[in-house]
């Protein structure tokens, strides 16, 4: 029997839930026109119905009991908009077990438990979609699973966290320091009261795990991804970066190295000529190198109720089209290969290093010798003119593509000599 | 009965056909892993089997008879890689009538006959896919039909022709003139011997017709799109553009204006701060303004056997997944609204105007009066210092957002006064 509507249940009515329900209802006719039947939001579950929202629903739609969605035979698609890995996981598991399609933007959950949840979805031949988990409203998961399904993705380089990109952009534009900009970002709502997940790189790590799983057809363990946040980036670093022709961005990088993968999240010197260098503010962008399509970039707003709502509604429509065609589960998990994850010490990269040294004759040569002895080839050395007193000097080094292990050995050795007062910073640079 | 393989027939074995077959065969195992069964290239039809190709197929695969594909019951998917609107249209029509899924990158054919072909595909509940028709390997058609299906696209601004973008980039970087760069582009294979379709904007017009049909859910008649090519762009224009903070790009622009649409292809002043300004060489990019997702941009290689092959294989995999799930035709044509197309005279835009005038007292004021009398508000006027002799001067004008009709009236009036020797150029600028 042909279905006359697709019924949706939403669990969690915060920013994302509100954005999604509003869009489904506002564009109801438009969407019905596109898929042939209307999509109804039948139930919305939340424990708190006292807080005011920007979009109001009917009292009939409201519920405080997840069973009104999960045990409701009329509901075809469940939208999980709770977040976190506790209740959300239970909700999704129960929904899939009840053979309801699931749509979620929950990056932490998908990064950590995507493998087992996709396995359950595949067993039940039902859809589990999560376009909103990476890049907010940017279509990236679906294009990788469909349009690029015949391609061989070699490398992903993403600006996937809006908070840190907002902070780094503001630092770059205003010459301000991290803590000052963080405060403004928190006031504007671009950073959480506890900003750890964003500024320490956890959020970007989850997103890289998801992107890499799809691009490289293998399950990624989040803990295998090396990550560094942006808390140590100073106004000085950004100033020197610019002088050298770079912007500093927090990048999530996944790449194929022989049969293995190298996965990492860290602040990175990005050459101004690279398309990612001009991705500013809360915008996200994912740059892909793939054979044979070449270089691709997807750019857009990485967060917010509008963009994330758009991604969720796109998933709902896709899941609805599958339901209407008895084709749920038509794009199953494709993580069917196993690949080793290389340690960060195996990385080959260019590096920027800032050092504080005693301003004595021969120090530069001595340091250069140590770099050389550790197989760290230098491309340039420069001495900024802001020497604070007569006794100390700052020296900035740029290396060729060298092995991380060798670089770390060199830095260790440098730290041990008397005339080197401080390794002030060491930041990887994009080729 | 579960199918054990998906069989493909290819018609046309030129650049695109070769790229597609090579990718299907090279990544055969990989693709089989992703969709569950292998995809076999059963037959490839071409009239010329004497020319050497970069990729060789078996003699069993080769044929000169399209019926070996169209009347072959084993073939599930037909790839049309002939081009043009003659035989290609017959091939696609016959394939759809035989209920074979069709994949094509043929922009001219889809722009001109997409409506009737999609109608036939929908009747037969079969797939007609054409991701490769716009933006080469950039996933753009499918994301718009799926990920953005719940969104309300307000505006599309695209660099969709690699040849003209290569020419304009080279002109910008080298300060060279159009004809000189065209010649180099032809030598490098970036421009055809007869470059008309590209440099006069026809190719971009086809692509805008396709993008707009999908974005705005309405059939677009190619002839309703205003278009201008780049043949009149000189090194001088590009030099002045830069001085004013712009790059000149051939843009394809579609936008919603009330219940109507404004559709146009023309060289455009693009502010350097706009993401499209730094899309250089043969790269394409499509910038979308949509509610609620906000601004999106899709960037990549717009042509070539690799990128186009990637797009076609993505389509083949999508069509194959539909076949394996008995869900062919699951994303039908959604052009179910009717919208008026506004005439270019209705356009509101900023304009750059270069004029050559007699170097006499009062000419600037007189001209400014004429602009004013026609409701053309000016933002700036500047006089480049290269006056060729003592008698003539160049004056460059930038307007606010004004109506095209008013601007054209002003230019007409200006042409009629004695002291204005020439309206050297008039180029629209992006907001």
Shortest Cα distance, chain A CAs vs residue B31, angstroms: 6
Q: Output phi, psi for B135, to 5 deg.
A: 70, 20
Quick one: tokens of A74?
């009329």
User: Which residue of A314, A326, A337 is in closest CB contact with B148?
Assistant: A314
**Per the CB < 8 Å rule, is A305 touching B295?**
no
Domain boundary among A300, A316, A335: A300
Distance between CA B198 and CA B210 in Å, rounded? 16
Q: What's the CATH number where B88 sits?
A: 3.40.50.720
With an 8 Å Cβ cutoff, is A31 touching chain B? yes
pLDDT score, position A199: 97
Q: How many CA atoms lie within 13 A of B27 on its CB side?
A: 25
Is A53 within 8 Å of A16 (Cβ atoms)? no
Judge whether A340 lies within some domain: no
A181 and A285 in a single domain? The answer is yes
Neighbouring CB atoms inside 10 A of B392's CB total 14
* Residue (of B422, B417, B426, B425) closest to B363 by Cα position: B417
Mutation site for B-interface testing, chosen from A18, A144, A292, A303 by largest number of B Cβ within 10 Å: A292
Question: What's the alpha-carbon Rg for chain B, to the nearest Å?
Answer: 24
With an 8 Å Cβ cutoff, is B147 touching chain A? yes
Judge whether B340 lies within some domain: no
CA distances from A178 to A170, A199, A259, B318, B359 (A): 9, 10, 38, 46, 55
Please report residues of A whose CB lies closer than 8 A to that of B151.
Answer: 23, 27, 310, 313-314
Percent of chain B with pLDDT over 70: 99
Q: What is the pLDDT of residues B87-141, one digit of tens each?
A: 999 999 999 999 999 999 999 999 999 999 999 999 999 999 999 999 999 999 9
Q: What is the pLDDT of residues A199-209, one digit of tens each?
A: 999 999 999 99
Please report residues of A whose CB lies closer than 8 A to that of B322.
Answer: 327, 330
User: Which residue of A35, A147, A326 is in closest CB contact with B314?
Assistant: A147
B72 and B192 in a single domain? The answer is no
Distance between CA B123 and CA A191 in Å, rounded? 51
B240 and B280 in a single domain? The answer is yes
Q: Are strands A128-129 and B152-159 parallel, antiparallel or unpaired?
A: unpaired
| Residue B372 pLDDT exceeds 80 | yes
Give the bridge partners for B14, in sequence order.
Answer: none
* B207 noted as active-site residue: yes
Residues written for chain A: 431
pLDDT score, position B390: 74
**Per the CB < 8 Å rule, is A306 touching B292?**
yes
The contacts of residue A75 (CB under 8 Å, 6+ apart) are A7, A8, A9, A42, A43, A69, A100
Which candidate in A207, A242, A257, A412 is catalytic? A207
Judge whether B17 lies within some domain: yes
Mean pLDDT of successive 10-residue segments in chain A (431 residues)?
92 96 96 94 97 95 98 98 97 98 98 97 98 97 96 98 97 95 93 95 98 96 97 95 96 97 98 94 97 98 93 98 96 88 97 94 94 97 76 94 98 96 97 82
Judge whether A392 lies within some domain: yes
Shortest Cα distance, chain B CAs vs residue A229, angstroms: 26
User: Which residue of B150, B301, B306 is in closest CB contact with A31?
Assistant: B150
Please report residues of B whose CB lies closer than 8 A to that of A146.
Answer: 139, 142, 314, 317-318
**Per the CB < 8 Å rule, is B299 touching A296?**
yes
A238 and A351 in a single domain? The answer is no
B172 and B92 in a single domain? The answer is no
Shortest Cα distance, chain B CAs vs residue A367, angstroms: 39
**Per the CB < 8 Å rule, is A33 touching B314?**
no
The contacts of residue A67 (CB under 8 Å, 6+ apart) are none
Q: What's the CATH number where A190 sits?
A: 3.30.360.10
A71 and A43 in a single domain? The answer is yes
With an 8 Å Cβ cutoff, is A275 touching chain B? yes
Q: What integer is the mean pLDDT of B269-298?
A: 96
Judge whether B337 lies within some domain: no
pLDDT score, position B391: 86
CB pairs under 8 A between A and B: 207
Number of domains chain B contains: 3
Q: Output phi, psi for B400, to 5 deg.
A: -70, -175
With an 8 Å Cβ cutoff, is A149 touching chain B? yes
**Per the CB < 8 Å rule, is B139 touching A150?**
no
User: Which residue of B295, B310, B322 is in closest CB contact with A292?
Assistant: B310
User: Which residue of B30, B294, B324 is in closest CB contact with A300?
Assistant: B294
**Per the CB < 8 Å rule, is B321 touching A299?**
no
With an 8 Å Cβ cutoff, is A146 touching chain B? yes
**Per the CB < 8 Å rule, is A321 touching B314?**
no
User: Which residue of B24, B139, B306 is in closest CB contact with A147?
Assistant: B139
**Per the CB < 8 Å rule, is B313 touching A131?**
no
Q: What integer is the mean pLDDT of B178-201?
A: 94
Please report residues of A whose CB lies closer than 8 A to that of B292.
Answer: 19, 23, 137, 305-307, 309-310
Q: Are strands B294-301 and A294-301 parallel, antiparallel or unpaired?
A: antiparallel
Sign of the alpha-carbon dihedral angle for B247, B198, B302, B94: positive
* Residue (of B271, B308, B234) closest to A150 by Cα position: B308
Please report residues of A whose CB lies closer than 8 A to that of B275.
Answer: 278, 299
Shortest Cα distance, chain B CAs vs residue A151, angstroms: 6
A180 and A146 in a single domain? The answer is yes
Mean pLDDT for all residues in chain B: 96
With an 8 Å Cβ cutoff, is A23 touching chain B? yes
b/e map B36-57, b = 16+ CB within 10 Å: eebbbbbbbbbeeeeeeeebeb
User: Which residue of B137, B321, B324 is in closest CB contact with A296?
Assistant: B137
CA angle A308, A309, A310 (to 5 degrees): 90
With an 8 Å Cβ cutoff, is A139 touching chain B? yes
Helix axes B162-174, B235-243, angle to 10 degrees: 70
Judge whether B113 lies within some domain: yes
Interface of A with B in 301-340 (CB under 8 A): 301, 304-307, 309-311, 313-314, 316-318, 321-322, 324-327, 330-331, 334, 336-337
pLDDT score, position A431: 82
pLDDT score, position A134: 98
Please report residues of A whose CB lies closer than 8 A to that of B304.
Answer: 294
b/e map B344-372, b = 16+ CB within 10 Å: beebebbbbbbbbbebeeebbebbeebbe
Task: Give residue A399's domain range.
Answer: 346-429
Domain boundary among B290, B324, B358: B324
Quick one: tokens of A34?
């596109």
**Per the CB < 8 Å rule, is B148 touching A296?**
no
Q: What's the CATH number where B357 sits?
A: 3.30.70.260
Question: What's the alpha-carbon Rg for chain A, to the nearest Å?
Answer: 24
**Per the CB < 8 Å rule, is A31 touching B313?**
no
Please report residues of B whose CB lies closer than 8 A to that of A334.
Answer: 33-34
Task: Give the DSSP letter of residue B341.
Answer: B
A282 and A149 in a single domain? The answer is yes
A147 and A15 in a single domain? The answer is no
**Per the CB < 8 Å rule, is A152 touching B27?**
yes
A48 and A154 in a single domain? The answer is no
Q: What is the pLDDT of residues B23-77, one digit of tens each?
A: 999 999 989 999 999 999 999 999 999 999 999 999 999 999 999 999 999 999 9
* Residue (of A17, A236, A51, A210) closest to A115 by Cα position: A210
pLDDT score, position B201: 97
Please report residues of A whose CB lies closer than 8 A to that of B298.
Answer: 296-299
Question: In terms of CA atoms, which chain B residue is nearest residue A217?
Answer: B34
Tell me the H-state helices in A8-86. Answer: 15-26, 28-35, 67-70
Shortest Cα distance, chain B CAs vs residue A23, angstroms: 7
Which candidate in B100, B107, B112, B207 is catalytic? B207
Domain boundary among A324, A357, A389: A324
A282 and A191 in a single domain? The answer is yes
* Reported pTM: 0.96
Judge whether B246 lies within some domain: yes
Please report residues of A whose CB lies closer than 8 A to that of B318.
Answer: 146-147, 149
Shortest Cα distance, chain A CAs vs residue B270, angstroms: 16
With an 8 Å Cβ cutoff, is A33 touching chain B? yes
Could you tell me if residue B136 is left (phi over 0), alpha (psi between -120 and 50 degrees) or otherwise beta?
left
Shortest Cα distance, chain B CAs vs residue A104, angstroms: 14
A196 and A272 in a single domain? The answer is yes
Pick B255 or A337 by higher pLDDT: B255
With an 8 Å Cβ cutoff, is B297 touching chain A? yes
Distance between CA B317 and CA B6 in Å, rounded? 9
Judge whether B339 lies within some domain: no
Is B102 within 8 Å of B127 (Cβ atoms)? yes
User: Which residue of B137, B293, B316 is in closest CB contact with A300?
Assistant: B293
């Amino acid at each position: 029997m042909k279905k006359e509507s697709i019924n949706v249940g939403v669990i969690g009515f915060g920013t994302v839930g509100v954005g999604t329900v509003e869009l489904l209802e506002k564009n109801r006719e438009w969407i019905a026109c596109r898929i042939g039947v209307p999509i109804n939001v039948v139930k919305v579950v939340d424990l708190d119905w006292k807080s005011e929202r920007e979009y109001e629903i009917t009292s009939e739609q409201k519920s405080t009991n997840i069973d009104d969605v999960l045990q409701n035979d009329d509901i075809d698609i469940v939208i999980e908009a709770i977040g976190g890995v506790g209740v959300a996981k239970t909700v999704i598991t129960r929904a899939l077990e009840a053979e309801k399609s699931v749509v979620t933007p929950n990056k932490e959950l998908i990064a950590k438990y995507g493998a087992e949840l996709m396995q359950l979805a595949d067993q039940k031949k039902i859809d589990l979609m999560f376009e909103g988990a990476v890049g907010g409203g940017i279509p990236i998961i679906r294009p990788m699973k469909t349009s690029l399904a015949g391609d061989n993705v070699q490398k992903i380089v993403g600006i996937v966290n809006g908070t840190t990109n907002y902070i780094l952009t503001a630092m770059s534009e205003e010459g301000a320091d991290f803590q000052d900009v963080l405060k403004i970002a928190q006031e504007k709502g671009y950073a959480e009261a506890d900003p750890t997940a964003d500024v320490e790189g956890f959020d970007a790590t989850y997103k890289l795990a998801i992107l890499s799983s799809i691009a490289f057809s293998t399950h990624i363990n989040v803990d295998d991804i090396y990550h560094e946040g942006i808390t140590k980036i100073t106004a000085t670093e950004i100033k020197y970066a610019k002088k050298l022709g770079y912007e500093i961005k927090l990048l999530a990088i996944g790449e194929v190295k022989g049969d293995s993968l190298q996965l990492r999240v860290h602040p990175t010197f990005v050459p101004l000529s690279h398309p990612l260098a001009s991705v500013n503010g809360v915008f996200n962008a994912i740059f892909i190198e793939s054979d044979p399509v070449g270089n691709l970039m997807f750019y857009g707003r990485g967060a917010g109720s509008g963009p994330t709502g758009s991604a969720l509604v796109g998933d709902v429509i896709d899941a609805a089209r599958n339901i209407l065609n008895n084709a749920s589960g038509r794009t199953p998990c494709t993580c069917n290969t196993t690949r080793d994850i290389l340690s960060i010490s195996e990385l080959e990269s260019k590096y920027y290093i800032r050092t504080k040294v005693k301003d004595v004759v021969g120090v530069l040569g001595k340091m250069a010798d140590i770099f050389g002895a550790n197989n760290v080839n230098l491309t340039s050395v420069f001495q900024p003119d802001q020497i604070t007193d007569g006794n100390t000097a700052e020296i900035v080094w740029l290396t060729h593509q060298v092995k991380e292990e060798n670089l770390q050995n060199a830095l260790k050795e440098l730290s041990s000599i008397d005339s080197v007062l401080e390794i002030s910073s060491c930041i990887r640079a994009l080729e």
